[in-house]
Amino acid sequence: MIITITDEGAAVLGLGVEPPDDLALTVQRAEELVDQLRAEFSSPAGLAGVELPPPQKRSEWDDDGLVLLRVGARAL
C-alpha cells in the first residue's frame, strides 16, 4: 500500500493487486478491498490496477491505461 499527496494536495492511497490469472475474480477482490479502504479512510473514490502507480495529478486520475476498477466520485 502506498499513500501519496497529489500536486493538487489530495491524499491518494495506492493498493497493488497481483496480475490476474482470473480477471473477474481479481477485479471482484480489488473492489472489496477498495470499498473497505474507502470506508476506513472516508475516501470519496478509489481505483485499482495491476502495476498502477497512485495518480499524482488530476490528468493521471482520469487516465484509464492501467485501471481495472474505478469506484466512487472523482477523488481529485
Domain boundaries, given as residue ranges, for the chain: 2-72
Report, as an integer, the average pLDDT of 56-71: 76
Give the model's pLDDT for residue 54. 73
How many whole angstroms separate alpha carbon 27 and alpha carbon 9? 28
Three cell numbers written together for 12: 491518494
Quote the cell numbers at residue 10: 489530495
Angstrom distance (rounded) from CA 49 to CA 58: 17
Whether pLDDT at 11 is above 60? yes
pLDDT (tens digit, 9 = 90+) per residue, 18-50?
766 788 888 888 889 888 988 888 777 777 877
Strand partners, 13: 3
* pTM higher than the cut 0.85: no
CA distance 75 to 29: 21
- Is the pLDDT score of 76 beyond 60? no
